[in-house]
Amino acid sequence: MPMLNVQIMQGYNSAQKTDLLKKLTQSVVDSVSAPLSSVRVVLQEIAPENVIVAGEIGHEMVMITVGLIHGRTDELKSALIAAMASAVEASIGVTSQNVRSILFDLPTTDVGVAGGRTAKAAGR
Tens-place pLDDT, residues 7-27: 999 999 999 999 999 999 999
Number of domains within the chain: 1
Neighbour-count burial of 74, counting CB atoms closer than 10 A to its CB (0-12 exposed, 13-18 middle, 19+ buried): exposed
Residue 124 falls inside a structural domain: no
pTM: 0.92
CATH number for the domain spanning 90: value is: 3.30.429.10
3-state secondary structure 21-78: HHHHHHHHHHHHCCCHHHCEEEEEEECHHHCEECCEECCCCEEEEEEEECCCCHHHHH
Three-state secondary-structure class, residue 87: helix
Residue 79 falls inside a structural domain: yes
Residue 58 falls inside a structural domain: yes
Q: Please give the residue range of the domain that contains residue 14.
A: 3-118
Residue 44 falls inside a structural domain: yes
Residue 30 falls inside a structural domain: yes
Q: Report pLDDT digits (tens) over 31-90.
A: 999 999 999 999 999 999 999 999 999 999 999 999 999 999 999 999 999 999 999 999
Residue 70 falls inside a structural domain: yes
